[in-house]
Chain A
Amino acid sequence: MTEARIAAGIGIAALIALPAVLPTYFLHILIQALLLGLIYTAWGFMGRFGLVSLGHGAFMGVGAYTSALLWNLYGVTPWLGMPAGMALAVALALVIGYPCFHLRIVGHYFALVTLALGQVVALLIIAGRDITGGSLGMTPRAVGTSVIAFQFQNRAQFYFVALALWLGVLGIRAWISRGMRRAALEAIGEDETAAEAAGINVLREKLWVFVMSAAVTAAGGSVFAQYIMYLNPETVSGVGVSLQIVFAAIAGGMYSALGPTVGALLTLSLTEGLRVLFGTNFIGAANTIYGVLLILFIIFMPRGILGVVESWLRRRPQPQAAPAE
């Protein structure tokens, strides 16, 4: 394990040193990758235990709009708006999650319930156009660089904020993956009845991981909107966003700690690369490729890019070892 520690240390040091050498444009991409990466990672908290949500756009939207609206309407600092959005997302997750898990709504039924939830939130944002700007979107009131307003004109400053948050979310993921809790969740993912019989409180464990995922997604949505300084139901909520989250997490590899972030990097560089190459002539090109890739990933490598890389790395030094999970 020490090798991994050293690698992680070097990695973090490199990430901290990066703003000094990276051009602004790439820093901009990297900030987005970190923020979206932490949202995708949060989706993976539950996704990797078979709890597939197609409505995480709901939590992202709740987080983003709560803090932005509190700031614009009442001048409440996003430092309070963010926890408020997280609390709202947690409440939403409890309202949906408790009955779902209590009544054993699993698999694609659960996925469809969350899809409906995502629709409800996106439509409410559109219906509340008097205060949210509806489909036209809204911008948080800009005040230049201000810690209180959570606005940083200097990208390097925002980069460190994003990096700290991202590391925090990886920490949460590691915490979830430790010990009994992980074993319990894995057992639930395999067979709920058997897990229940083995003395696991299925309802509590599932609810707990759903709530964690919702809260982190809301926080991520809030910070992401704060960075882009523009909120639109299509970009921070809605079905499109929800599916984007699922795709990126799966493509990168939701079973690996860094997988979802790799997914975020992949999707961002695909979008940006095509934009730079073709300009705006081929608006749908990036998503067309996403779609094909998603299908190929599901069919040929459901463990994602990092999942495949990890199994290669594991196989080479000790070929006799069974693939551990």
Chain B
Amino acid sequence: MDIYLLEAVMNGIMLGGLLALLALGLNLIFGVIDVVWICYAELVMAGMYAVYWLHAVYAWPFILACAAAVALVALFGVVLHRLIIEPILGSAPINQLLATGGMLFFLQSFATLLFGTDFRNVGIRLPVIELGDIDLSFARLLAFVAAILGAAGLYLFLAKTFLGTAIRAISQDREIMGLMGVDPRRIYLITSAIGGGLAGLAACLLVLQYDVHPFIGLTFGPITFMICVLGGLGNMFGGVIAAFIMSLIISIVGYYFSVELSYVLAFMLFIVLILVRPQGILGR
């Protein structure tokens, strides 16, 4: 097998871990609250800026900056839910999507206003690992491992804790759960915090690989939605599978042709798949 192709495949798998983490947060929000946060990738952008400022400008240790960024984006998720989603929870789903679309505009341009359009680098250079003839970026490997750990942590939380059980229950039947003594409002706020926290975690991992700029959300936001829909909106396991399928397509086609064409192909595949299987690849 071509060594460079193998490298592309490895990179694809590692990208898949990150995309899976992103899709996981979005899927959690969708499954539980039944809204699509179209500004999800912009929350990640905000988290990346937080890490950049705390670490590169105020010289906090990286780990501390990351913890602060996760907390900050989690808080942002709560505020987003409280201020924007809650007032229109009862209206048409498309309205919620559009309102978070307004948030997308706001975050992008507010970042432009505050930080300008410069590309900012957090300034951490991680080594490259040589595995035989294959070069692996340590940053990517770290992102992959952290993403998998994050996903596993979320799974354990949802499966093993009382709160996690309540969250899963409310995603199955929101009417009945109120009668069972669960306060949906509280669950929604907690879910928003977790969704935001996952975006913050993704931000910490992405900032090691990419420069931050106000429009970075557009580079992986749309693909994240496609992944969620492919996996079946709200189906977390499906989202993880779809993330790996998409990332492999992107890296392999990107290797043979060009990055743009690889995304074109990924989006076209999405359109075709949603027409064939609107319930997602793992749907009934």
Q: In whole Å, how far is B75's beta carbon from the nearest beta carbon of chain A?
A: 18
The answer on a CB contact under 8 Å between B102 and A293 is: yes
Interface residues of B in 214-243 (CB under 8 A from A): 214, 218, 222, 225-226, 229
The answer on a CB contact under 8 Å between B97 and A108 is: yes
The answer on a CB contact under 8 Å between B271 and A96 is: yes
Q: Which of the residues A99, A116, A240, A299 comes within 8 Å of B270, measured between beta carbons?
A: A116
Q: In whole Å, how far is A243's beta carbon from the nearest beta carbon of chain B?
A: 6
Closest residue of A by beta carbon distance from B261: A127
Once A105-B278, A285-B109 are accepted as A-B contacts, the answer to whether A123 and B104 lie under 8 Å apart by CB is: no
Q: Which residues of chain B are within 8 angstroms of A285 by Cβ–Cβ distance?
A: 109, 113
Q: Which of the residues B84, B114, B225, B275 comes within 8 Å of A103, measured between beta carbons?
A: B275
The answer on a CB contact under 8 Å between A299 and B260 is: no
The answer on a CB contact under 8 Å between B36 and A294 is: no
Once A247-B102, A285-B113 are accepted as A-B contacts, the answer to whether A298 and B95 lie under 8 Å apart by CB is: yes
The answer on a CB contact under 8 Å between A287 and B267 is: no
Once A108-B36, A123-B260, A298-B88 are accepted as A-B contacts, the answer to whether A250 and B275 lie under 8 Å apart by CB is: no
Q: In whole Å, how far is B171's beta carbon from the nearest beta carbon of chain A?
A: 17
Binary contact track B250-270/A, C-beta < 8 Å → 1, others 0: 000000001011011001101
| Most chain B beta carbons < 10 A, residue from A117, A243, A297 | A243
Q: Is B103 an interface residue (CB 8 A)?
A: yes
Q: Which residues of chain B are within 8 angstroms of A104 by Cβ–Cβ distance?
A: 278
The answer on a CB contact under 8 Å between B98 and A103 is: no
The answer on a CB contact under 8 Å between B260 and A294 is: no
Q: Which residues of chain A are within 8 angstroms of B106 by Cβ–Cβ distance?
A: 287-288, 290-292, 295
The answer on a CB contact under 8 Å between A127 and B258 is: yes
Q: Which residues of chain A are within 8 angstroms of B158 by Cβ–Cβ distance?
A: none
A295–B109 alpha-carbon span in the complex (Å): 14
The answer on a CB contact under 8 Å between A116 and B113 is: no
Q: Which residues of chain B are within 8 angstroms of A246 by Cβ–Cβ distance?
A: 98, 101
Number of interface residues of B (CB under 8 A): 46
The answer on a CB contact under 8 Å between B98 and A288 is: no
| Most chain B beta carbons < 10 A, residue from A113, A127, A291 | A291
Q: Which of the residues B97, B108, B229, B275 comes within 8 Å of A287, measured between beta carbons?
A: B108
Q: Which residues of chain A are within 8 angstroms of B107 by Cβ–Cβ distance?
A: 291
Q: Is B153 an interface residue (CB 8 A)?
A: no
The answer on a CB contact under 8 Å between B94 and A99 is: no
The answer on a CB contact under 8 Å between B278 and A109 is: yes
Q: Is A10 an interface residue (CB 8 A)?
A: no
The answer on a CB contact under 8 Å between A105 and B275 is: yes
Q: Is B4 an interface residue (CB 8 A)?
A: no
Q: Is B123 an interface residue (CB 8 A)?
A: no
The prevalent SS among residues of B at the interface is helix
Q: In whole Å, how far is B270's beta carbon from the nearest beta carbon of chain A?
A: 5
Q: Is B117 an interface residue (CB 8 A)?
A: yes
Number of interface residues of A (CB under 8 A): 47
Q: Which of the residues A103, A117, A127, A293 comes within 8 Å of B260, measured between beta carbons?
A: A127
Q: Is B119 an interface residue (CB 8 A)?
A: no
Q: Is A100 an interface residue (CB 8 A)?
A: yes
The answer on a CB contact under 8 Å between B270 and A284 is: no
The answer on a CB contact under 8 Å between B111 and A284 is: yes
Once A107-B93, A119-B267, A123-B264 are accepted as A-B contacts, the answer to whether A283 and B117 lie under 8 Å apart by CB is: yes
Once A105-B278, A109-B229, A284-B110 are accepted as A-B contacts, the answer to whether A120 and B104 lie under 8 Å apart by CB is: no
Closest residue of A by beta carbon distance from B30: A108
Q: In whole Å, how far is B272's beta carbon from the nearest beta carbon of chain A?
A: 9
Q: Is A84 an interface residue (CB 8 A)?
A: no
Closest residue of B by beta carbon distance from A124: B264
Q: Which residues of chain A are within 8 angstroms of B229 by Cβ–Cβ distance?
A: 109, 112
Q: Is A203 an interface residue (CB 8 A)?
A: no
The answer on a CB contact under 8 Å between B108 and A284 is: yes
A127–B274 alpha-carbon span in the complex (Å): 24
Q: Is A239 an interface residue (CB 8 A)?
A: yes
The answer on a CB contact under 8 Å between A127 and B98 is: no
Q: Is A83 an interface residue (CB 8 A)?
A: no
Give me 10 A-to-B residue pairs in the complex whose CB atoms sit less than 8 angstroms apart, sorted by A's number.
A111-B97, A113-B271, A117-B271, A123-B260, A123-B264, A124-B260, A127-B264, A284-B114, A288-B105, A298-B99
The residues of B with any CB-CB pair to A shorter than 8 Å are 36, 84, 87-88, 91-95, 97-99, 101-114, 116-117, 214, 218, 222, 225-226, 229, 258, 260-261, 263-264, 267-268, 270-271, 274-275, 278
The 7 closest A-B pairs by CB, nearest first: A291-B106, A294-B102, A284-B112, A287-B109, A291-B105, A284-B109, A284-B113
Besides A107-B93, A246-B101, A288-B105, 16 other A-B contacts (C-beta < 8 A): A50-B94, A103-B275, A109-B278, A111-B97, A113-B270, A116-B222, A116-B268, A127-B260, A243-B104, A243-B105, A283-B117, A284-B214, A287-B108, A288-B106, A291-B110, A295-B102
